[in-house]
Amino acid sequence: MADTETTETENDKIVDEYELVSLIADGTSTQVWEVKEQGGATTFAMKRMLPEAMKKPEVIATMKLEAKVGAALDHPNLIQLHKYVKNKKNAYLVMDYFRAPNLRSQISSDRLSVQNRLRKLIESTAMALGHMHDKGWVHKDIKPENILISKSSEVKIIDFGLAVPVAKGIGKLFGKPKAVQGTRSYIAPETIKKQPLGPGADIYSLGITIYEILTGKTPFHGENPKEVLLKHISERAAPPSSINPNVTPEMDEFILKMLAKKPENRFLSMDEVVSSIRNLKMFKMEISEVLAQEKAEAEQAEKESMQEKRLDSRADARLSELMKEDPEMAKQLIAQREALNKSKSKPKPAPPAQKKPQQQQPQQPPQPMPGGYPPQYQQPMYPPQPMPGQPMPYPPQYQGQPMPPGGYPPPGYPQQPYPPQQQPYPQQPPQQPMPQQQQPPQQQPQQPQAPAPQQPAPTGQQPPATQQPPQAAPPQQQPPAPQQPAAQKEEEKEQKSRNDDDLPFMEELPDVI
């Protein structure tokens, strides 16, 4: 029984005269294996159809077409097909085994390295496709998965399963494809419109592939497949330099010409692509310099990391010795190290320069305001007074009542207490002297008991226009005021002892007799 199981396992690894060595790629309908002839040492690549796919006629037709196209091609940058076999058990293609990854894996893992080999890649791919066009075929499915490139920049194009004949003569008018075939992100607009295909379709797909090498993504994206196809037809691609600033304007122009919507606006042949790219400056800074710079930065970072590790290892060794000699001191050192590491990881606080004005402002002593109280105390409590020569309005609500200290407030204004003399005034910026024509008249009320000296304030200390109080009415037209109380007389004495600059304008003071 054991011998029978062993024989069945060995038979699974044998396909006709070939021995399956290792699986290279796995698809929905086919698998690619590394194989070798039984008893031989030469290895090949076998594209083998899965048993379920052998029941589908369209899959078999695709493999038969690939064998037909491959047999007609002979170019060093095109994969060489050797055999096509179709029997009851198997259907497979045998071709050269090229030991190199495809562009898709290399773009994902090391795109700069691909950019460093881009010129050689474009030349080799374009020449291979030019040979294919000369043989009468359009590849129709150029994309990173179907281009293999080695570290030495050797290129091979694979997978001819979607190839179609080049439309010529009458074929351009009547040779419309029956269905849209291709990969959505790389498909040419004329393929979507089911128009006859020529070399321009492969030029467009190669341009999309180069665009992805330069930027890391294809130019057209959408929420659904239909949206992507519509963008291929109608939307202009953004220049690669808008995503990768290292791309030159000349390279932008080269790519956008390959991605023109109409085939006649692109390069007319792959020979023109090759001749254009040979002397074209693709990058502002050469990729070799970028790679060297990145390598130097990586080496410097690794050197610093190794140095820190050495210092840490020495410190750990010293701490282990100290732990035996003096455990308490070792614990303190460990705590200090942890605190230092935490402080390094924390973000730096804001610079203290922003807090200096706030800290110094309350330390400044309040300065007296020349010319009177600030505007916030003057405007709401003492509205404009009538012009000289006009009688003071007498509020009806005070008729028959004695005049309160400070006089009657005009009608329509709320009664608010006058601010106390001891209240500190908010600091205000220095004011410019008021122009001479806007100074109030130097008329002082002639009262036997005035609360302030009768001499006018100096001319250089006149208040600004914003703090100018209204002119007071003539003293002979104001109603008599009652005698001053004792507390108010004491306050008068204090005011007389103060400097004139500390007093408000006489027109602003309450009328006291």
Question: Rounded mean pLDDT of 260-276?
Answer: 96
Q: Which listed residue (141, 159, 202, 511) is catalytic?
A: 141
pLDDT at residue 75, as a whole number: 96
Same fold, 1-97 and 100-284: no
pLDDT at residue 488, as a whole number: 61
What CATH number does the domain located at 1-97 have? Answer: 3.30.200.20
CA distance 65 to 139: 12
SS (H, E, C) 413-424: CCCCCCCCCCCC
Question: Rounded mean pLDDT of 399-404?
Answer: 62
Give residue 276's pLDDT band: very low, low, confident or very high (50, 70, 90).
Answer: very high
Note the pTM of the prediction, 2 decimals.
0.59
- Residue pointed to by tokens 């090949």: 44
The answer to whether the beta carbons of residues 208 and 218 sit under 8 Å apart is yes
* 129-175 per-position pLDDT tens digit: 999 999 999 999 999 999 999 999 999 999 999 999 998 765 554 45
* For residue 19, pLDDT beyond 70: yes
DSSP 375-396: HHHHTTTSPPPPPTTSPPP--G
Q: Which helix (H) or strand (E) holds 234?
A: helix 225-234
pLDDT at residue 467, as a whole number: 47
Distances (CA, A) of 414 to 381, 408, 471: 7, 11, 20
Structure token pair of residue 404: 């309160």
The three-state secondary structure class of 71 is helix
Structure token pair of residue 477: 């037209």
The three-state secondary structure class of 296 is helix
pLDDT at residue 263, as a whole number: 95
* For residue 20, pLDDT beyond 70: yes
**Quick check: is 16 catalytic?**
no
Question: Rounded mean pLDDT of 442-448?
Answer: 49
* 313-358 per-position pLDDT tens digit: 777 777 777 777 777 777 777 787 778 777 766 555 555 444 444 4
Give residue 428's pLDDT band: very low, low, confident or very high (50, 70, 90).
Answer: low
Task: Please state whether 200 falls in left (phi above 0), alpha (psi between -120 and 50) or beta.
Answer: alpha
Q: Considering only 78-82, 298-302, 439-443, which range has the smallest mean pLDDT?
A: 439-443
The three-state secondary structure class of 458 is coil
The three-state secondary structure class of 491 is helix
* Topology, domain 100-284: Transferase(Phosphotransferase); domain 1 (1.10.510)
Better-scored residue on pLDDT, 316 or 269: 269
pLDDT at residue 354, as a whole number: 45
The answer to whether the beta carbons of residues 81 and 92 sit under 8 Å apart is no
CA distance 411 to 470: 16
* 69-97 per-position pLDDT tens digit: 999 999 999 999 999 999 988 999 999 99
SS (H, E, C) 301-343: HHHHHHHHHHHHHHHHHHHHHHHHHCHHHHHHHHHHHHHHHHH
* For residue 221, pLDDT beyond 90: yes
Q: Which of 169-183, 208-222, 303-317, 368-382 reaches the highest mean pLDDT?
A: 208-222
Better-scored residue on pLDDT, 29 or 469: 29
Contacts of residue 114, Cβ cutoff 8 Å, sequence gap at least 6: 103, 106, 107, 121, 149, 213
* 238-252 per-position pLDDT tens digit: 999 999 999 999 999
* For residue 50, pLDDT beyond 60: yes
pLDDT at residue 387, as a whole number: 62
| Strand bridging mode 81-86 / 91-95 | antiparallel
CA distance 91 to 322: 75
Better-scored residue on pLDDT, 199 or 471: 199
- Domain boundaries, given as residue ranges, for the chain: 1-97, 100-284, 297-339
The answer to whether the beta carbons of residues 185 and 256 sit under 8 Å apart is no
